[in-house]
Amino acid sequence: MTQINAKSIIRRDDAKGFIEDYWTKRAPKFKALRREELQSEKMKLWQEEICRHLPSHESLKILDIGCGAGFFSILLARQGHDVTGIDLTESMVREAVELANEMHSSARFMTMDAECLSFPDDTFDVVVSRNVTWNLPHPEQAYAEWLRVLKAGGLLLNYDAEYGKYHHGDFQREAVYAHKDLTEDLVEQCHQIYHMLDISMYERPRWDLEILQKLGAKNCTADISVGPRLYAQKDRFYAPAPFFGVFARK
């Protein structure tokens, strides 16, 4: 494969449908993986990571964007927050609902596009996401929407990684961790997603901070120590790509 650059970007009219198809195929195994994560030491690490940004002893209205099978939503609902998880992929939402029922969680889930939210302005105290922006065709539009639905002074917590740059062209490295259980066809589909999206070329999290500032967000910061802190052990949930957090206030 060629290096990801402007010349190697593949323009597709059906990019979002192609991405949704990829995650639909991956959905069946996600509930089991997230159930395992919720019962692991990783859950405690994520709880500490997120909750250190939140006011203590206060119930917040939280939107979990790209919730997948519901890990963040269930974790935060356990802390007494009013949580809504949304995902573009209907099958992921079904997995999240089933897992939340298993866990007796109060988290709610809806099928919705992260780039076009149906919530009114100023709805949520916190917007949180994990592993979402790397596979969005229009990430700047998504950031604008996330800020729109935040209340004044609301907090944005976005955790992501430069997956396209790290995994590009290295099937063997991918197969060891995040894509261990994927077929070769699915790994190839993931690589095609890297080549479809401009965000694969960006220097992140610098790009994220520049966009958030452009959109009028305040107190924009990034934390590149998230990966080394949360993924110090090469366990079932290990993420070898450069992982970071991007934080901002409306």
Q: What is the pLDDT of residues 183-227, one digit of tens each?
A: 888 888 888 898 899 998 899 999 999 999 999 999 999 999 999
| pLDDT tens-digit readout, 55-82 | 988 899 999 999 999 999 999 999 999 9
Quickly state the pLDDT bin for 154 (edges 50, 70, 90). Answer: very high
Place of tokens 């940004």: 53
Any bridge partners for residue 245, and if so which? 159, 223
Separation in Å, CA 250 to CA 42, 153, 210, 212, 239: 29, 5, 15, 9, 29
Residue pair 124/94 in contact by the 8 Å Cβ criterion = no
Quickly state the pLDDT bin for 2 (edges 50, 70, 90). Answer: very low
Contacts of 50 (CB under 8 A, 6+ apart): 72, 75, 76, 128, 157
Alpha helices in the chain (DSSP H): 15-38, 41-51, 71-78, 90-102, 139-149, 163-167, 171-176, 184-196, 206-214, 226-230
| pLDDT tens-digit readout, 33-56 | 999 999 999 999 999 999 999 998
CA 147 – CA 121 distance, rounded (Å): 9
User: Would strands 150-161 and 243-249 be described as parallel, antiparallel, or unpaired?
Assistant: antiparallel
Contacts of 14 (CB under 8 A, 6+ apart): none
CA 155 – CA 190 distance, rounded (Å): 30
| pLDDT tens-digit readout, 130-149 | 999 999 999 999 999 999 99
Q: How many CB atoms lie within 10 A of CB 211?
A: 20
Token pair for 44: 């405690």
pLDDT computed for residue 173 by the predictor: 52
